[in-house]
A and B are shown apart, each in its own frame.
Chain A
Amino acid sequence: MLGDDKYFLGVDVGSVSTNIVLLGQDNTVKEALYLRTQGRPMQIIQEGIRLLRSKIGKSAEIIGVGTTGSARQLAATLLGADVIKNEITAHAVAASRVNPQVQTILEIGGQDSKIIILRDGVVSDFAMNTVCAAGTGSFLDQQASRLGIKIEEFGHLALEAKNPVRIAGRCSVFAESDMIHKQQLGHSLPDILAGLCQAMVRNYLNNVGKNKEIRGPIFFQGGVAANPGICKAFEEELGQSIIVPENYNVMGALGAAYLAQEKVGLRQDIRTQFRGLNLGDTQFQAKSFDCKGCANRCEVVEITQDGKSLARWGDRCGKWSVIGVPSPGTRGEESKEEQRGA
């Protein structure tokens, strides 16, 4: 079936995971990859593209690319993205496309957590954790490995709790010492884990959820949504049921794919800037230097492909970044013109 083999690519490069979604023209998710970023975003993006190429047919064509996540700019440069969007918009778009009735999104990722309030399918309010990463995926990961259990088992064990212990969740350092204390007193592991889940949820609702009107339907997405212990704690604390959508762990990437569809798929006059599935085989390099132009000493990053400069960013004044791809939010008309002219 030629012609049906066209897809939108959504890529979400976060601190902990790099997610890639291939969205069909009929809005079905064809592929969803969840990879660990491991501090090497460039290599993981390339690895993801190689993996993707091996999974889809030769005739498959990418007709739009969207990137999101903290490395959205980097991913956009490597891939040639049509849309670069922040995580909040991407998550909101994905959730409201999956279920237009959604009014609240709870999202807990590797190093950040956010709450998004939607009314009539449009974001009306949002908040992100500010100064503290207590109660995010990384902390759960760390505690699981300290207790010698797999992160995948964490939630199921927590569900077995009979008497969850009370743990101070305000700060991850104190939470940890509190947990150790409870262990030394002889509390069972499931009770401690369930207590930790409750503490995390309390902390989340007191911080990012402060002053927000949480109405159902509520979506819970992000990597931590895989943990049924946290889901249960949320349901108990809010007194409402929580929906974990099918693609909960790649919702950001899915949102980016939908945004690419909005931008490119629905219009005839724009063609994708995607740089091709064979970019997995080329050499990307990043180097950085301190600009000595002023006292700000900006750390400028330069990305090169096979020795050719692709983009630069990191400077406050725009002295370096204007040469390559424009910095976030300023994807100018020039690059599009070039693309069309070529």
Chain B
Amino acid sequence: MKVTFPHMGNAWIVIQTLFESLNVEVVVPPFNSKRTLNLGTKLSPESACLPLKLNLGNYIEAANEGADTIVITGGIGPCRFGYYGEVERQILIDSGYNYEVVTLEPPDGSLLGLAKRIRFLAGTKNSWAKILMAMRFAYLKSVALDRVEDLIHAARPRLPNPALTEKLYEKAKEQLVQAMTEKKVKDTVAWVQESIRERQEGLNTESVKPLRIGIIGEIYTILDPFSSVGIEEELGRLGVEVDRSIYLSGWVGSHIFQGLAPGYRSIRSYSKHAKPFLPHFVGGHGIETVGAAVKFAREGYDGIIQVFPLSCMPEIVAASVLPKVQDAYKIPIMTLIVDEHTGHAGIQTRLEAYVDMLERARLLQESIQTREGVLSVGG
């Protein structure tokens, strides 16, 4: 058995770790690329959302490397992703790929079904204790990964050479892939922190107050830089510090561990924040999107950008609520919709214009304040 799985940003590092610590042979598909998307788009119904197209592309590319079993998470809400495991299985059969598909769903009533599937993947040699240990370690790694990612978010607008910052990020990810002990994982996070501090030495960091933008929206597109056309990196290059509503371990914590582990940037508080604007579950992460927008606004962020794949129903509901948040907190919210036709130039123009808008507003605010300062001194 050779297990593969769909890509979603850095998730591969965690999934690979999980299977490798259980001695299950795993094929990491080639990273999401134009080729992946082209392969997947050919097999997908046109109206399906971007994640389905990329998933299928991943499986085909992984099949070329010998994978024969797919693991994918399922879901039980109105979001279509919940049944993509089954849809993908049938599409793959129709296209002549001989894949076994294992859908890991949140326990719905009985744990037995889930346990059976995990047992199937882990084989007979691993004890349940070992499986739980492996899951715990993979989870720790994913928290570390998220911390590294957030450190990079902060470093991008502050360090002078964007290419070197990206290199640091790549190197940190490589180290985390290799790390198989808790100490190594912790050391990597510390090393990234230290490297950033070193590079900041001699820079006048006091005067740099980057704009802060919160990224919200559909989980796959915001976690996967290929899908979001790299907007986090792009914003960083434009001098913006970004934060995100959902990180991988936060999602894993609430989704897979049913809230037993909070993960990085727990998503638990979002429904409370969303309540005045959206009190109902609308599927996917609609509530989290609205709740995170409220939270970012309250924390004094300069702007919020919502990203989702074309035709994503939960996010469309959220998008129609967001103007109310925008009015209530006087914070500009921009929505970007991505699909296989998304061009880099269009996104670039919008991001630049959006950042200009926030910057010019801040300059105006500052000039008014200094004038008032002068006046108060004079009076």
Decide whether A and B are members of one complex. yes
Tell me whether A122 and B360 are in contact (CB under 8 A): yes
Q: Are B348 and A124 in contact (CB under 8 A)?
A: no
Q: Which residues of A contact B36 (CB under 8 A)?
A: 295
- Answer whether residue B115 sits at the interface, using C-beta atoms and an 8 A cutoff: no
Q: Which of B163, B234, B345 contacts A322 (CB 8 A)?
A: B163
| Interface pair A329/B357, CB less than 8 Å apart | no
Query: Which residues of chain A have C-beta atoms less than 8 A from B35's C-beta?
Result: 295-297
The reply to whether A131 and B341 contact each other, CB–CB distance below 8 Å, is yes
A interface SS class: loop
A296/B349 contact (C-beta < 8 A), A122-B361, A211-B323, A316-B230 known: no
Task: Give, as a whole number of angstroms, the nearest-CB distance from A122 to chain B.
Answer: 5
Q: Mark A299-342, 1 if CB is under 8 A from B, else 0.
A: 00000000000000000111000100000111001000000000
Q: A85-B356, A296-B34, A322-B163 are in contact. Are A128 and B323 (CB under 8 A)?
A: no
Of the residues B30, B356, B361, contact of A124 by C-beta under 8 Å: B361
Q: Are A123 and B360 in contact (CB under 8 A)?
A: yes
From the candidates B31, B163, B352, name the one contacting A318 in the complex (CB within 8 A).
B163
Q: Given the known A-B contacts A88-B349, A295-B35, A322-B163, are A329 and B356 also in contact in the complex, defined by CB atoms under 8 Å?
A: no
B332 touches A128 (CB 8 A): no
Instruction: Give the chain B neighbours of A333 by CB distance below 8 A.
Output: 160
List residues of chain A with CB within 8 A of the CB of B33: 294-297
The answer, yes or no, to whether A236 is at the interface (CB within 8 Å) is no
B-contact bits for A108-132, CB 8 A (1 contact / 0 none) = 0000000000001111111010110
CB nearest to B239 among chain A residues = A329
Q: Is the CB of A126 within 8 A of B353?
A: yes
A86 at the interface (CB under 8 A from B): yes
The number of inter-chain residue pairs (CB within 8 angstroms) is: 76
Q: Which residue of the partner chain A has the closest CB to B349?
A: A86
Q: Judging by beta carbons under 8 Å apart, are B332 and A125 in contact?
A: yes
Are A126 and B357 also in contact (CB < 8 A) when A87-B349, A295-B34, A329-B352 are?
yes
Check A295–B30 contact: CB distance below 8 A.
yes
Residues of chain A contacted by B234 (CB below 8 angstroms): 329
User: Given A125-B332, A329-B237 in contact, is the A297-B356 Cβ separation under 8 Å?
Assistant: no
Complex Cα gap A326–B172 (Å) = 25
Within 8 A of A (CB), among B325-379: 332, 337, 341, 345-346, 348-350, 352-354, 356-357, 360-361, 364
Does B162 sit at the interface, judged by CB under 8 A?
Answer: yes
- Which residue on B lies nearest to A327, using beta carbons? B237
- CB of A89 within 8 A of chain B? yes
Is there a chain A Cβ closer than 8 Å to B238's Cβ?
A: yes
Nearest CB on B from A97, distance (A):
13
Question: Which A residues have a C-beta under 8 Å from some C-beta of B?
Answer: 70, 85-89, 120-126, 128, 130-131, 211, 294-297, 316-318, 322, 328-330, 333
- Which B residues contact A (CB, under 8 angstroms)? 30-31, 33-36, 160, 162-163, 166, 230, 234, 237-238, 323, 332, 337, 341, 345-346, 348-350, 352-354, 356-357, 360-361, 364
